[in-house]
Chain A
Amino acid sequence: MQLQINEKEETVIITVEEERMDAHNSGNLKERMLQLFDEGKYQLVIDLTTVRFIDSSGLGALVSGFKNASARDGSLKLCCLQPQVRSMFELTRLHRVFEIFTTLEEALDSES
């Protein structure tokens, strides 16, 4: 999975540069997030602008990151969801779990 990592102050922005997040590639995101937690970086924003398709494995990787960030008093926020990706969060009720923002700026400006 192609991931772009950028840091802005305390926050790490992970931009997923894939059209699909599924069982083939979501493990990479999960591992990358665990590396960041090991480095003491607990404030994450995941930018999903280019993701057109997400399945239960992709959702599972994000839940893993969310749980690990929360366990370390950090946060994992999502931004820039395409409508069909957003609908997957609603279908699985995960929109009640994650903080989801329309733009990256809104995610960065929000309080943790």
Chain B
Amino acid sequence: MSKQVELNIKVPSQTRYLAMIGQIGESLAFSLNNYQGNRRELAYHLNLCLTEGLTNAICHGNNSDPDKDVHITILASDDILKIRIYDQGPGFDISARRKTKAHPCDEGGRGINIILKLMDEVKYVQEDGVNVLEMTKSLH
């Protein structure tokens, strides 16, 4: 696995940073070497998955406490792209989310399901007392 890009970002738990982080995902999609797929689609999907993951960490994980940071790492190689988003909240059971779909008229509950549809592998685990949402996408 040859590494191309590694990004390490911390932002306060405020939704005003969503656009900036989403934009980083879009820019990354257009910067990858050797990607043969649809870059515009990948850009939108990365923007979306970063936005959804970050919203979850800010609003549910860190309860929008601006004194708590959200830590994001993005690792891109020739083969895969791995995004990790860390939060300090109570966590949630992602396996339960896999089994449930939002009713068409539900206002919320779609964010994690969107990530599950667009990413190839999604995990939500605890590491050293911190929750980590790990999203992996194959670049083949």
* A60–B110 touching, CB < 8 Å: yes
Is A67 among interface residues, defined by CB-CB distance under 8 A? yes
Q: C-beta contact mask, A34-62 vs B, less than 8 Å → 1, else 0?
A: 00000000000000000001011101110
> In the assembled complex, how far is the CB of residue B83 from the closest CB belonging to chain A, in whole angstroms?
15
- In chain B, what residue has the closest Cβ to A52? B44
* A56–B18 touching, CB < 8 Å: no
Is A64 among interface residues, defined by CB-CB distance under 8 A? yes
Is A4 among interface residues, defined by CB-CB distance under 8 A? no
- In chain B, what residue has the closest Cβ to A98? B104
A contact patch SS: helix
Known pairs A22-B19, A24-B15, A92-B102; A55 contacts B52 (CB<8 A): yes
Is B48 among interface residues, defined by CB-CB distance under 8 A? yes
> In the assembled complex, how far is the CB of residue A40 from the closest CB belonging to chain B, in whole angstroms?
23
Is A63 among interface residues, defined by CB-CB distance under 8 A? yes
- In chain B, what residue has the closest Cβ to A85? B44
Contact of A59 among B22, B59, B110 (CB under 8 A): B110
* B105–A55 touching, CB < 8 Å: no
Is A84 among interface residues, defined by CB-CB distance under 8 A? yes
* A56–B105 touching, CB < 8 Å: no
In the complex, which residues 81-131 of chain B have their Cβ closer than 8 Å to any Cβ of chain A?
102, 104-108, 110-111, 113-114, 117-118
Known pairs A23-B55, A24-B16; A93 contacts B114 (CB<8 A): no
* B18–A91 touching, CB < 8 Å: no
* A63–B117 touching, CB < 8 Å: no
In the complex, which residues 62-112 of chain A have their Cβ closer than 8 Å to any Cβ of chain B?
63-64, 66-67, 84, 87-88, 91-94, 96-97
* B114–A56 touching, CB < 8 Å: yes
In the complex, which residues 34-49 of chain B have their Cβ closer than 8 Å to any Cβ of chain A?
40, 44, 47-48
Known pairs A55-B111, A91-B117, A92-B110; A67 contacts B15 (CB<8 A): no
- In chain B, what residue has the closest Cβ to A94? B104
List 4 extra interface pairs beyond A20-B18, A56-B111, CB under 8 A.
A22-B18, A22-B19, A53-B48, A56-B114
Residues of B within 8 A of A (CB): 15-16, 18-19, 22, 40, 44, 47-48, 51-52, 55, 58-59, 102, 104-108, 110-111, 113-114, 117-118
Residues of A within 8 A of B (CB): 20, 22-24, 53, 55-57, 59-61, 63-64, 66-67, 84, 87-88, 91-94, 96-97
